[in-house]
Amino acid sequence: MPDFDIPGLGRARQALTALAKTPRQTSGMNTIKKMIVKELYTEIRAARLAGYSWVKIKKTMSEAGLQPHLSEKLIAKFFVDIDKQYERETSVKALPVDPPRGGRRKEKEA
């Protein structure tokens, strides 16, 4: 028991304890999403070697009914991390980093 007593201190302690028992949704979901990319690493690598874009890979995964949905940026980020780890473990050269493109607009010529 603390030397001082502030109203609501006990309830705040209980709420924070309950909060700590459940992971934050975004970090928990990212962990699951990274596990999905790791599980599909071989297939994603083969698709990248065949020349498919991150957008096409994402669409294919979504059309197959994969839940939760992953963005192409997140797939690329996790894939690069896993690919670098795979390179360290097996000495198989990692694929070149090719970030997903998007949001760029061509400049209009005057």
In a domain, 62, yes or no: yes
In a domain, 50, yes or no: yes
pLDDT (tens digit, 9 = 90+) per residue, 59-73? 999 888 888 888 999
In a domain, 66, yes or no: yes
Q: Tell me, what's the pLDDT at 106? A: 58
In a domain, 41, yes or no: yes
Domain count, the chain: 1
pLDDT (tens digit, 9 = 90+) per residue, 77-105? 999 999 999 888 888 888 887 765 655 55
pLDDT (tens digit, 9 = 90+) per residue, 49-62? 999 999 999 999 98
| Domain residue limits at 83 | 26-90
Burial of residue 29 (CB within 10 Å: 0-12, 13-18, 19+) is: middle
In a domain, 1, yes or no: no
Whether this prediction's pTM lies above 0.85 is answered by no
In a domain, 107, yes or no: no
In a domain, 36, yes or no: yes
**Mean pLDDT across the chain:** 82
**Number of neighbours of residue 61 by Cβ within 10 angstroms:** 20
